[in-house]
Amino acid sequence: VTLERQEIAQKLARGVYKHSPRTMMAELPSQERINSFDEVALGYTEAQAQAEAQRCLACGICSECYRCVEACKPHAVDHSLGETFTDLEVGAVILATGFDEFDANRKYELGYSRFPDVVTSIEFERILSASGPCAGHAVRPSDGKVPKRIAFLQCVGSRDAQCGNTYCSSVCCMYAIKEAVIAKEHVHEIEPTIFFMDMRAFGKDFDKYYERARDEYGVRFMRSRVAKVDANPDGTLDVVYVTEDDRLIHESFEMVVLSVGLEPSRGTRAMIDKLGLRTGEGGFIRTEEFAPLNSSRPGIFVGGAASGPKDIPETVMQASAAAAEAGQLLASQRGALARIKEYPPEIDVLGLAPRVGVFICHCGINIAGTVDVEAVREYARTLPYVVYAGRNLFTCSQDTQESMKDIMKEHGINRVVVASCTPRTHEALFQETIHEIGLNPYLFELANIRDQCSWVHMTLPAEATDKAKDLVRMAVNRIVYDRPLHGRPLPVTHSALIIGGGITGMTAALKMAGQGYGVHLVEQERELGGNARHIRRTLHGADVQAMLADMVARIQADSHITLHTHTQVKQVDGFVGNFRTVLERAANGSGPQQEIVEHGVIIVATGAEERHTSAYLYGQDERVITQRELEERLAEGQFVLSDGRGRVVMVQCVESRTKEHPYCSRVCCSQALKNAITLKQHYPQCEVVIIYRDIRSYGLRETYYQQARELGVIFIRYDLAADAAGNGGLPEAIVEDGQLVAKVYDPVSRQALSLAADALVLSVGIGPRANAESLAPMLKVPLNAERFFLEAHMKLRPVDFATEGIYLAGMAHAPKFIEESIAQAGAAVARACTVLSKQELVSPGTIAHVDQVCCVACGDCVAICPYKAIDMANKEVTRRNWKNCAEVNPALCKGCGACTAACRSGCITLDGFDDLQIMAQISALVAN
């Protein structure tokens, strides 16, 4: 639409149209307006043309030309629509009003709107998008050519007092890296440069992505804030910046991308006024640190960027957590207005000839950019049993789903093959679609021609197309032998087991109890609190110990919560909705005592711990302490500087962001800022020096970075690797003549500094709990490389495990702040309640079953089953003939197929993956 609008505007400016189209075509019906627009030529002045071009490009209020109606393929534009008003009676309100991007026109010096090849990050995202105006091709707006050199300018509208946004927008560093990497993947010759102040890759595995972009993709990172962008005579852009060693540089780029920050949306501002809410920093909705979902009015909850800048995982967590808050408030009315989705009677396909429908997806250019989709469609039409073969731009879109239903009804299709992307994310969607017209969900096959063809064979389009044909042929051959499968109803035990009694576990227990469900809260230590027992105040000044005492009292007083302290989980059996766990409590004198509890869900909130270190003379010199120890000493008045002067040196990233521990511990920078500010407030004459790599005071924490600088805290940066001259690397700590000295190379002043210190404070990173190694196999959940628990999907399912019925929260997932752990605890409760709110669950249809007549009772399947779904039993296999044989518990079986492969007598079949189906696929592959 944008490109068409620009073309029209250019014609107007050239005088092609002699009179205003809106005056000449006002009386024409809409379709005639569309057809006649290009033919109007009745005298139009240049000034009028320019005015009309500006109006057309703005296109915020026009409704005369109707080109948008013509261009919109889903027919979503309707100029006749008017406002409608609806009154709703609700028990809670969740504000998820999001954000607006910063208006880059406010940074005039950066050239936005003056130079066409200066675009915002949101615009560049659309340029790279397969469904965008450039169909995913990385091109310059000015001439449609591929730019070789692209500059990404960070902190545009963030960390900038001149534009009024002093906070950090949290997401800009990572989305700039993402866009740079995607641009390189689209065109390998592109050379991206990212200009930044601090690289705030604070999320789980974000640092790995940053280093991968730098080391594998060749993305260049330049630590500098760009002063201005001008145009060069040759049409390129002149980026002016100052290096750390104070050199003024002019560098040419073909394209500039402004990484614009996040601002409160107009809807947020309007809601604050309408609902009488308190406004927080930056104009976002004010929430409390220990109640991060609560607005200033009871019953009104806030989720996502409405309360401050957030990345997708935090937004998803807060969405679920806000739902948990509302659910707790409305627990007594649960299900009162619920409607059960009804499906048409299932079509009986047994005995009917297979009629296969094949739907090939373009996925924008994700697939069609490499694979010849039309050739695959034509090939699919020639396959046996295929009665329809079509292709779609996005098969997963809502309008395509509706179109598929109509096509299936029209052609009498009773089996469906979709050739698109991964079944991990889209199989359930397509199964639901065919279920809605009466087909069994298991009469569906998905051929993954994106991940397995277009992505991995991007430079081999012919071969990728041939492979796509192979996958489609295999899927069609297999689906002919597919048969309807049905799950079994399973009862649900309406209680939860929460492992970990820190702030996260206690929050989850209280919120779960507030929903009306029973809770077993297990803590391995003798008292509750976890790491919070060592934290006095947060960066914002909230009293952690007072909050902790209140939570413990509420836990002990809640009749829904059964507390198990000094207790460990010893064994977990069962499945979603029906778990059975053995708890072992350490008892004095009489030995450990065991107890069995039954529950429907599990929440893992085992926390993390400060890593042990011997770096920088820690443990050898009493003047070397950790940030936690400093905080406790300051709170108890035990940290004293004799004359109120002296020097305290802090070293960041100890046991973090190293080769051994390649991740950011997230909280260390803010912890250092908190203690540095406290020191300066207690001892104004004291010199506080923070030796850092990047200060990661993301979001609204940026205020405290500014406050620390204003109080006189000195910041000295270091690089992990030495420069070409051999200068740099990790700081050092030595003792010279009894004096503790910190040594560091400062890349700004280009000097090696020796700082005599009265105290050396280490910001030691966070590591996983040791019990994660033993707990993970019991729960059948994975750990990542750093031994934190691994969620099902980093962005979209940040509190789920791949194992159903088990959820994750707090620092067991990754390092995080108290308010983030509280939000994730609420999110885990909300996800768990999707199970506990049901009276029964339905097991998957893809489960194993045993031909017990053939079973020789060897026990291999029992030993190999990772889910303990198979036992040996004495069964009557034929009339009056009893024998020992294997028996599968359908509730426990996850359809992995390990038993089927291991069975030496071939008596185990996995429904949905039987021999006929697998051999049909293999035959189709080798037949060509």
Q: Tens of pLDDT along 500-537?
A: 999 999 999 999 999 999 999 999 999 999 999 999 99
Is the alpha carbon torsion for 221, 222, 226, 230 positive or negative?
negative
How does pLDDT run across 215-239, given as a tens digit for each residue? Answer: 999 999 999 999 999 999 999 999 9
Distance CA 928, CA 609 (A): 57
Among 28-32, 860-864, 880-884, the least confident range: 28-32
Interval 815-823 mean pLDDT: 97
pLDDT of 53 reads 59
pLDDT above 90 (res 879): no
Q: Measuring CA to CA, which residue among 511, 514, 549, 509 is closest to residue 529? A: 549
What percentage of residues in the chain have a pLDDT greater than 70?
92
pLDDT of 41 reads 33
Please indicate whether residue 17 or residue 206 has the higher confidence score (pLDDT).
206
pLDDT of 868 reads 84
How does pLDDT run across 344-382, given as a tens digit for each residue? Answer: 999 999 889 999 999 999 987 889 989 999 999 999 999
Cβ neighbours around 585 below 10 Å, total: 15
Interval 726-753 mean pLDDT: 94
pLDDT of 32 reads 41
Q: How confident is the model at residue 6 (pLDDT cuts 50, 70, 90)?
A: low
Q: Are 318 and 293 in contact (CB under 8 A)?
A: yes
Chain centre distance of CA 62: 38
Number of H helices, E strands in the chain: 25, 40
Rg (C-alpha) for the chain, rounded Å, is 32
Burial class (CB in 10 A: 0-12, 13-18, 19+), 869: buried
Q: Measuring CA to CA, which residue among 328, 203, 294 is closest to residue 791? A: 203
How far from 70 is each of 29, 34, 55, 60, 810, CA to CA, in Å? Answer: 13, 7, 19, 17, 50
- The two beta strands, 647-654 and 759-764, are parallel
DSSP 8-state secondary structure symbol assigned to residue 408: H
Among 89-98, 821-830, 873-882, the least confident range: 873-882
| SS3 state at 797 | strand
Interval 463-475 mean pLDDT: 96
Q: Which residues of 689-699 are buried (b: 16+ CB within 10 A; e: fewer)?
A: bbbbbbbbbbb
- Our CA dihedral for 852, 854, 856, 860, rounded to 10 degrees, sits at -70
How far from 69 is each of 40, 48, 64, 73, CA to CA, in Å? Answer: 19, 24, 11, 8
pTM: 0.86
Among 149-163, 439-453, 588-602, the least confident range: 588-602
Q: Are 786 and 768 in contact (CB under 8 A)?
A: yes
pLDDT of 337 reads 87
Distance CA 152, CA 259 (A): 7
pLDDT of 204 reads 95
pLDDT above 50 (res 15): no
Element (H, E) at 763: strand 759-764
Q: Are 703 and 167 in contact (CB under 8 A)?
A: yes
Q: Which residues of 306-327 are buried (b: 16+ CB within 10 A; e: fewer)?
A: bbbbbbbbbbbbbbbbbbbbbb
Q: How confident is the model at residue 82 (pLDDT cuts 50, 70, 90)?
A: confident
DSSP 8-state secondary structure symbol assigned to residue 454: I
pLDDT above 60 (res 498): yes
Which residues does residue 690 pair with via DSSP β-bridges, in sequence order?
Answer: 650, 715
Q: How confident is the model at residue 883 (pLDDT cuts 50, 70, 90)?
A: confident
Distance CA 130, CA 304 (A): 26
Q: Are 823 and 866 in contact (CB under 8 A)?
A: no
Interval 656-673 mean pLDDT: 96
Which residues does residue 573 pair with via DSSP β-bridges, in sequence order?
Answer: 580
Among 455-469, 508-522, 868-882, the least confident range: 868-882
Distance CA 656, CA 201 (A): 13
Q: Are 478 and 494 in contact (CB under 8 A)?
A: no
Q: Count of alpha carbons within 13 Å of 190, Cβ hemisphere only? A: 28
Burial class (CB in 10 A: 0-12, 13-18, 19+), 587: exposed
pLDDT of 310 reads 96
pLDDT of 35 reads 39
pLDDT of 36 reads 39
Element (H, E) at 775: helix 772-779
Interval 272-291 mean pLDDT: 95
pLDDT above 90 (res 899): yes
How does pLDDT run across 24-66, given as a tens digit for each residue? Answer: 344 444 444 333 333 333 344 455 556 655 666 665 555 567 7
How does pLDDT run across 684-723, given as a tens digit for each residue? Answer: 999 999 999 999 999 999 999 999 999 999 999 999 888 7
Please indicate whether residue 425 or residue 470 has the higher confidence score (pLDDT).
470
Give the chain's mean pLDDT.
90
How does pLDDT run across 762-780, given as a tens digit for each residue? Answer: 999 999 999 999 999 999 9
Please indicate whether residue 186 or residue 326 has the higher confidence score (pLDDT).
326
pLDDT of 22 reads 42
Q: How confident is the model at residue 643 (pLDDT cuts 50, 70, 90)?
A: confident
How far from 356 is each of 302, 360, 400, 448, 594, CA to CA, in Å? Answer: 47, 13, 18, 17, 56
Q: Which positions ≥6 away from 99 have C-beta within 8 Å? A: 262, 263, 264, 265, 268, 305, 306, 309
Is the alpha carbon torsion for 878, 879, 883, 887 positive or negative?
positive
Amino acid at the residue 78: D
Distance CA 263, CA 252 (A): 30
What percentage of residues in the chain have a pLDDT greater than 90?
78
Distance CA 555, CA 31 (A): 67
pLDDT of 10 reads 52
Residue with tokens 């509420």: 554
The DSSP result for 464-504, as a single string, is HHHHHHHHHHHHHHHHTT-------EEE---EEEEE--BHH
Interval 657-676 mean pLDDT: 96
Distance CA 286, CA 279 (A): 5
How does pLDDT run across 827-845, given as a tens digit for each residue? Answer: 999 999 999 999 999 988 9
| SS3 state at 555 | helix
pLDDT of 388 reads 97
pLDDT of 8 reads 52
